[in-house]
Amino acid sequence: MDQAVVHIGFPQNVRSKNAFYRSPASGQSASFHSVRFWLQPRVPRLAFRLSSLLLLWLLVASQALALPTLSEAGERINLASQLVEGKRNVLFFHAPWSKTSSRYKVELERWQKTHEDTAVLLVNVKTLKSPVAKQFQLQSVPTFAIYDAEGTLQESGQKAHNEVVKMLKE
């Protein structure tokens, strides 16, 4: 025999209804099943377009204000050609998987806007086994290296980290 389905009526403003299913041919007893109907919010087209444009503008603006990145994929860098002449250079070795690196990156971007005498350069390490990590013998991220205006290494490791923390508190 065919399966008989009986639907019980419900008001239009209710989000679910009960359906009574019965199958005498299979020997199953009758049972109630709950069927859910989810109402989708309707967003006006103009509001959707305006919010999309706002998100696009924020994305472009955040990229324009970002610090320069020397190494995107963890490849080796030619440091002598990348340092900014006449300014104190802070190299910030970071990784996208490090939450601490993300916090420092935001703070350094904010700090860089008010301190024009120092250049902050980002180096994306990717992994600690990448070529740039081996080039600078990195053991962890985030790591900092500070170079003077002539391009000579002033501080690295924990001393550079302490100096950057002191700079950010100014």
Q: What is the pLDDT of residue 41?
A: 58
Instruction: Categorize the per-residue pLDDT at 80 as very low, low, confident or very high, splitting at 50, 70 and 90.
Output: confident
Mean pLDDT to the nearest integer, 3-16: 51
Domains recognised in the chain with CATH numbers: 4-36 (no CATH), 68-169 (3.40.30.10)
Alpha-carbon distance values, 22 to 35, 36, 79, 99, 168 (Å)? 15, 19, 76, 56, 71
* Phi, then psi, of 5 in degrees rounded to 5: -120, 125
Q: So what's the pLDDT on residue 21? A: 45
Concatenating the DSSP letter of every residue in 105-158 gives HHHHHHHHTT-TTEEEEEEE-SSTTSHHHHHTT--SSSEEEEE-TTS-EEEETH
| pLDDT tens-digit series, residues 102-140 | 999 999 999 988 998 999 999 989 888 999 989 999 999
Q: How far apart are CA 45 and CA 52, in angstroms?
A: 10
The per-residue pLDDT for 59 is 55
